Amino acid sequence: MDFLLNWLCILFAKMLSFAEVQKLSRLAQLEFDDQKSQQFQSELSEILEYVVQLSEVDTQGVLPTYQVTGLENVLRADEVQKCSSREEILACSELPQKDNMIEVPAVFK
């Protein structure tokens, strides 16, 4: 993964060209005038330069951080509970029934 990140950073460590920004905007299906494209050319190039700086940081031996708040998910324990019978569920439906199943309108044609 580090190799890929380093390769991408080297590849994009240059100023993005105006044509590259226009191509990115087409791929993202965004429309910008020339002034906005020039603005994004500068801003995206700065972001890529920052990514290059981050890729140079030695992270060997640093454990990945997935969240920093220290909070943990608080979930209730799974407990087996009684559920409704097929007959009770079918009795609640106003839709037509066929072969002990509720017949619903078609979603696809």
Q: Is residue 69 part of a domain?
A: no
Q: Is residue 104 part of a domain?
A: no
3-class SS of residue 42:
helix
pLDDT(14) > 80: no
* Average pLDDT value for the chain: 83
Kindly report, residue by residue over 25-77, the tens digit of the pLDDT: 899 999 988 899 889 888 988 888 888 888 888 888 888 887 788 888 778 88
Q: How far is CA 53 from CA 11, 32, 56, 58, 103, in A?
A: 13, 29, 5, 11, 59
3-class SS of residue 20:
helix
pTM of the entire structure?
0.46
In the chain, pLDDT over 90 holds for what percent of residues?
8
Q: Is residue 39 part of a domain?
A: yes
Length of the chain: 109
Q: Is residue 74 part of a domain?
A: no
- Which amino acid does the sequence have at 56? E
